[in-house]
Structure 1
Amino acid sequence: MGRWAFMKSDIGANRRTMTDCKFLFSNGVITSSPDVPPVATLLQSHPGAYTTTRTHSDGACILFWERHLRRLSNSARILLSRDPRLLFKPEKSELSLPPSLVESSAWDSAVESLVKDSVDQVLPIALREGLRKEGEELAITALVSGNVEKLRGMESASGSDSPAEMLDVYVHLAGYVALAFDRPEGAARLAVVGRGRSVAEAKYSDWVRLRKPLERLRPTSVTELLLSNDGDHLLEGCLTNFFVVRRREGKGVGENPYEVQTAPISDGVLPGIIRQLVLEYVFPLYIHFDLDTYIS
């Protein structure tokens, strides 16, 4: 098959250096260090869809923010329609969702507005407080969680079925130092450990809990765990999308000598932000793109 290499990004829930600078915005209340839990604790404590990005240029902008907002609202919609328990996590009774809520055309704009407004409130404060060390950015995790009590209130009241009325939004900020991939410690070391995620098209907080048994299997030298349903077709990492960059064999004259491989969405992988950016970058360069990651 020729030589191949792993390609990933430091954006999202990848391994990175986190510092003690932390803020949490929830239901209009801002909490700062040391009372803010680690982001993994927050995600394991609340159901829902989430996304993680970071600031850039000393907090001047948020990387791919509009893409993250769209992916977050889409993940929440997928959970609502396919497995509401991953969004609400009710303890006892079955959920009764108003049909108009699931099919609401206002869903995306409502969710994106909720998250954007929350980030706009806490980010300036986090930047102004000056708790970051020199060279740090801020990792931003936004979690949209269904509130069962609010949902029941909507069921008993007549009127609007706005998504905003049954969702809680949590925004977690933490100081961030990106790993440098031009250093030996920045290289990826991989191991295949488990089957693909359920409802893989959505990014949801319960996966943080579900992947813990897999993390216990991770050798100390391995930086990312890969998922596969058969041991041959590689789907994605526990934390990242997965790409293979390899030199092609038997290419035609004038053809690009490299190709990029990744699993198709239909195989059960997250439509990640970096995945889409790689696709957009590769096509104009006439690099062959293969929607498969079969490694023998």
Structure 2
Amino acid sequence: MSASRYLLSNGILLQSSDVPPVRNFLETHPGAYTTSRTYNNASWLLFWERHMKRLSESIQVLSNVAPWLLFKSNHPAVLSPSSATLPIWQPTVQVLVNGSLCKVLPIALKERKDGEELAITTLVSGNLEELNACETVRKENMSKILDVHVHVETYVPPTFGIWGNGVHLALVGYGRNVAAAKYSDWVRIRKPLEKLRPPSVTELLLSNDGDQILEGCVTNFFVVCCKVLDSNDGKALCDSFELQTAPISDGVLPGTIRQLVLEVCRSEGIPFREVAPSWSEHEIWEEAFITNSLRLLQHVDSIQVPTEWKSAHSKTWKEISWTKKQFQGGPGRITTVIEEKIKGKAVMEGYPIRNIYAC
């Protein structure tokens, strides 16, 4: 079933055949972006306030350290942090985004089919000429400095826990730059990794050394490890469990769902450590899952890693020798608990669609 797509760019609405897939759109437009979706038959937005906060933070980070990833300009050479830095007010960004959603959501909601949700990607780019024309940046002139694009697409979320709905991962690429911000140019940068994607692999993982796993191209990555104790007879015993995921300081995206997972671990007393899971210890991995704002949480069925990391990037997937770990059954106990608690948070933090219409 083909997805229906809608795009509102600076007040101009495009529909269906005129709208590119979101990946193509992001690849050709600079800026900071965030992706969320509706749930409960398109009556609520998932963690919308968190996404708006994250989007505002990404805009600020790019403005400060990598303005060429945020601003569109006819003269890229003049972009520098000193000339492009601008203050960002989250409420103002949210007003601009909600104003665009007001115009596109009624159409998308009317035409969607029952059971479909809406994936909503918001891209914000900066206009350097407008910024330079302003003597002082104020909240009231932010609409001139920031261009807002809202891409909406129908989406059917995978059902959690069903046999065969797990993901298959492959470790293929190096970690991203400017990981503190979510920016559209990453879509272009990661394209060369596709030649390393084996068939049936759902997501590509990133590492700087072939051992410590940072994250996926569009997901955060978690493992549940068995803490091993040596018994008197020399056999390893599983004493307790620990959730592991790479820390932000390692250069991973501070994803919205990643943060929610850590909040759930704290509230439920689930031991966790922010450390990059090490492939050399994969034999004690009991569970694994990935997170992002569309899938929320999906358990991992398998992970494969090149046996020789340094030479892998000059090859195709057929030429690489792989080592593979297969997880048994569906999602494990810890994964299931975290998924259920995140769904509960989704209900508590749900942002009603009617609030968008009130803009």
TM-score normalized by structure 1? 0.84
Aligned equivalent of 1:155: 132
Letter in 2 for 1:158: E
Aligned equivalent of 1:145: 125
1:222-276 Cα shifts (integer Å, max 9, x gaps): 111111111111111001011112233349xxxx932110000000001101101
1:8-66 Cα shifts (integer Å, max 9, x gaps): xxxxxxxxxx7331111111122211211111111011000111111011111111111
Higher relative contact order (CA 8 A, sep 6+): 1
- Displacement of 1:157 in angstroms is 4.8
Aligned equivalent of 1:189: 168
Secondary structure, in 3 states, of the residue corresponding to 1:34?
A: helix
Secondary structure, in 3 states, of the residue corresponding to 1:46?
A: coil
- Contact 2:206–2:217 under 8 Å retained in 1: yes
Q: Which one of 78, 82, 94 corresponds to residue 94 of structure 1?
A: 78
Secondary structure, in 3 states, of the residue corresponding to 1:123?
A: helix
Q: Which one of 76, 81, 99 corresponds to residue 59 of structure 2?
A: 76
Change (3 A) 1:139 1:281: same
1:106-163 Cα shifts (integer Å, max 9, x gaps): 53232222112212332122112x2x2331111110000122xxx2244245354544
Q: Distance in 1 between matches of 2:252 and 2:107?
A: 36
Letter in 2 for 1:141: T
Aligned equivalent of 2:113: 133
Which sections of structure 2, spanning at least 5 residues, go unmatched? 231-238, 281-359
2:54 corresponds to 1:54: no
Secondary structure, in 3 states, of the residue corresponding to 2:78?
A: coil
TM-score normalized by structure 2? 0.70
Change (3 A) 1:82 1:163: farther
Alpha carbon RMSD of aligned pairs, Å?
2.3
Worse-matched range after superposition: 82-91 or 35-44:
82-91
* Greater fraction strand: 2
Secondary structure, in 3 states, of the residue corresponding to 2:69?
A: helix
Change (3 A) 1:180 1:156: closer
Q: Which one of 157, 175, 189 corresponds to residue 210 of structure 1?
A: 189
Secondary structure, in 3 states, of the residue corresponding to 1:199?
A: coil
Secondary structure, in 3 states, of the residue corresponding to 2:3?
A: strand
Change (3 A) 1:263 1:98: closer
- Contact 1:55–1:61 under 8 Å retained in 2: yes
> Size of the alignment, in residue pairs?
269
The structure number with the bigger radius of gyration is 2
1:152-190 Cα shifts (integer Å, max 9, x gaps): 244245354544322111101111011224334421211
Q: Distance in 2 between matches of 1:246 and 1:19?
A: 39
Q: Which one of 16, 19, 26 corresponds to residue 43 of structure 1?
A: 26
2:223 corresponds to 1:244: yes
Q: Which one of 184, 196, 201 corresponds to residue 180 of structure 2?
A: 201
1:70-123 Cα shifts (integer Å, max 9, x gaps): 101101111110100011254543126677x7352x532322221122123321
Aligned equivalent of 2:292: none
Which sections of structure 1, spanning at least 5 residues, go unmatched? 1-17
Q: Distance in 2 between matches of 1:154 and 1:200?
A: 25
Identity, in percent, stands at 53
Q: Distance in 1 between matches of 2:134 and 2:101?
A: 30
2:263 corresponds to 1:263: no
Aligned equivalent of 2:268: 285
Q: Which one of 161, 166, 173 corresponds to residue 152 of structure 2?
A: 173
